[in-house]
Amino acid sequence: MFGHNVFSYDTIPNIYKAESVVFNATEFDIAKRHSVLGTVKAKWVEATQTYHYKAGNMSDYADSGKSSAAEVKNSTVEINDGVHANGDPITHSVKSKIDAGQGLEFESLSPADQPSTDDSGDSNGDSNGDSNGDSNGDSNGTPVEGCMDDTATNYDDSATVDDGSCEYEDDGIDSNLITYGIIGIVGIIAISVLKSK
């Protein structure tokens, strides 16, 4: 009676097959809320110019009819995938699976949904100045001399060439620093006198 291995039961085999919650980490992925249920997979298909998805036991991907990754999670296009033991049809839709706690993972994105990786400026060359040469001069491309240190009192935000004219405030010695220093020294002397007695 007590010698039976309770771990030999296969009543909950799906727990051992639980999928990882870590996805491709696109901004459109949705983490699972239920660790046992599967993950809906979606991918961009050039031929149809739409996203296709696969959920549950579906043997192949089905067209969601959506051309935007943001809209895929709300896709209610249902695909029949056989029948349950009680005769009810097994249906899959992205929205129903996500609502049930499954995650959504994008295996590929459309060109429009892919994040931009071009930080070098636009076609006019923003990082190097626009077509008139703003970063290297004024609207005519002429260099503007001035102080380019923003901590200086005469900082010139239109300057494109530092001419060495930067001026800084001379606060002198902070009077509070002197006061606290004197108080500290007096305190140390007082403690020394008290300890010597």
> Based on the domain organization, do 88 and 136 belong to the same domain?
no
Residue 1 CA to residue 75 CA, distance in Å, equals 51
| 147 and 92 fall within a common domain | no
The domain in which residue 135 lies consists of 124-171
Domain count, the chain: 2
Residues 6+ apart with CB under 8 A from 73: 28, 30, 94, 95, 98, 104
pLDDT one digit per residue (tens) for the chain, 197 residues: 445 454 544 444 444 444 444 445 688 888 888 777 778 899 999 999 999 998 877 888 989 889 999 999 888 888 777 787 888 887 788 888 888 888 888 999 999 888 876 555 444 444 444 444 444 455 556 778 888 787 778 888 787 888 888 887 765 566 666 777 788 888 888 888 787 76
> 42 pairs with which residues across the strands?
53, 106
Same domain, 60 and 94: yes
111 located within any domain: no
Same domain flag for 130 and 97: no
